[in-house]
């Protein structure tokens, strides 16, 4: 299985790409756990996603300026309008889904987006899905269901539809940012994405509450909550940035498959951060996911 237009890379460079993906997954794992703390301290979902994007935009802007690369490519910036929209739809889809279905089921549905990316790349002839890889993907998703302890007792078509919307939005987001990254680099492409997403959320926060569509933005009431909220912004930024840095090296399909580890790391970090615990069945799921990803990586290491 190869990635989207990814040239053959030396093994050390491939290792760097895989490392970037996995480190990005660790950052992503901190994001929902930090958000949970922010919620406990008085923030609401709109406040978290809005400030998360703004922090990401500012952080990436400072990073680009420090490297002397803060030069806005207006053509790419304008073409990134749908990228920010995809990010906003993904966030709103997730927020909406958990109002109707169990959080674990929503996450499982959303994480079919790596599969959608792999299928799209296969149909476009940019990568090849073999039968062993398809089997590994299916088993990994089953393992992820065990990790998440998915509850299917309360199925709701609206919730499932919103989770699928988030999955499709994330699929488009990945392809759009990969395309922009080829022109301006991952950091600038992510800056454009977060800039547009920030604008969309600010507009939603401005017009939604007066129309009675959503509650007004609520922010944390304590320093602990603000630290957690800022942590969501940093982890959001670094998670996306490292993913696209890695994808540029090992390819979009391979990077997306490795991102299946993100929910697993989220739960493992929760053990340390918010004192949650795993059952024996969940540990079995962790072992299944890690084993499947390792098996899928074996052919790449033999090159």
Helices 81-97 and 45-66: crossing angle in degrees, nearest 10, is 150
Residue 114: which domain range?
11-301
Q: What is the pLDDT of residue 301?
A: 54
Which of helix, strand or coil describes residue 44?
A: coil
**36-65 pLDDT, tens digit each:** 889 999 999 899 999 999 999 999 999 999
pLDDT band of residue 272 (cuts 50, 70, 90) is confident
Q: What is the pLDDT of residue 175?
A: 93
**101-127 pLDDT, tens digit each:** 888 888 899 999 999 999 999 888 877
Do 117 and 171 form a contact (C-beta atoms < 8 A)?
yes
Number of H helices, E strands in the chain: 13, 0
Q: What is the pLDDT of residue 299?
A: 66
**CA-based nearest residue to 63, from 300, 252, 245:** 245
Q: What is the pLDDT of residue 9?
A: 62
Q: Is the dihedral of CA 119, 160, 54, 227 positive or negative?
A: negative
**116-168 pLDDT, tens digit each:** 999 999 888 877 888 888 999 999 999 999 998 887 777 889 999 999 999 99
- Does 24 fall in a domain? yes
Q: What is the pLDDT of residue 1?
A: 37
**19-33 pLDDT, tens digit each:** 999 999 999 988 888
- Does 285 fall in a domain? yes
Q: Is 3 a residue whose pLDDT tops 50? A: no
- Does 118 fall in a domain? yes
State how many domains the chain has: 1
Q: CA 224: distance to chain centroid?
A: 24
- Does 3 fall in a domain? no
Q: Is 195 a residue whose pLDDT tops 60? A: yes
Q: Is 276 a residue whose pLDDT tops 80? A: no
- Does 6 fall in a domain? no
State pTM to two decimals.
Answer: 0.85
- Does 107 fall in a domain? yes
- Does 20 fall in a domain? yes
């Amino acid at each position: 299985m190869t990635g989207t237009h990814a040239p053959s890379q030396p093994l050390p460079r491939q290792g760097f790409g895989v490392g970037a993906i996995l480190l990005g997954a660790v950052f992503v794992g901190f994001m929902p756990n930090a958000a949970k703390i922010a919620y406990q301290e008085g923030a609401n979902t709109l406040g978290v996603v809005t400030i998360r994007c703004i922090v990401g935009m500012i952080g990436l802007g400072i990073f680009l300026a420090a490297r002397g690369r803060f030069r806005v490519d207006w053509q790419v910036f304008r073409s990134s309008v749908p990228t920010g929209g995809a990010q906003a739809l993904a966030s709103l889809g997730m927020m909406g889904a958990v109002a109707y279905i169990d959080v674990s089921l929503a996450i499982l549905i959303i994480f079919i987006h790596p599969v959608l990316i792999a299928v799209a790349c296969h149909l476009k002839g940019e990568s090849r899905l073999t039968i062993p890889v398809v089997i590994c993907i299916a088993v990994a998703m089953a393992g992820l269901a065990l990790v998440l302890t998915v509850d299917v007792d309360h199925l709701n078509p609206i919730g499932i539809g919103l989770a699928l919307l988030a999955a499709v939005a994330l699929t488009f987001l990945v392809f759009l940012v990969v395309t922009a990254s080829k022109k301006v680099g991952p950091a600038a492409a992510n800056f454009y994405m977060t800039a547009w997403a920030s604008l969309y959320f600010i507009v939603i926060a401005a017009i939604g509450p007066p129309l009675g569509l959503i509650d007004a933005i609520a922010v944390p009431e304590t320093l602990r909550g603000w630290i957690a909220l800022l942590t969501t912004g940093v982890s959001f930024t670094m998670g996306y940035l490292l993913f696209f840095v890695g994808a540029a090296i090992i390819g979009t399909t391979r990077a997306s498959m490795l991102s299946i580890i993100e929910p697993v790391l989220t739960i493992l970090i929760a053990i340390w951060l918010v004192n949650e615990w795993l059952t024996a069945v969940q540990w079995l799921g962790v072992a299944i996911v890690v084993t499947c990803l390792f098996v899928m990586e074996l052919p790449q290491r033999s090159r």
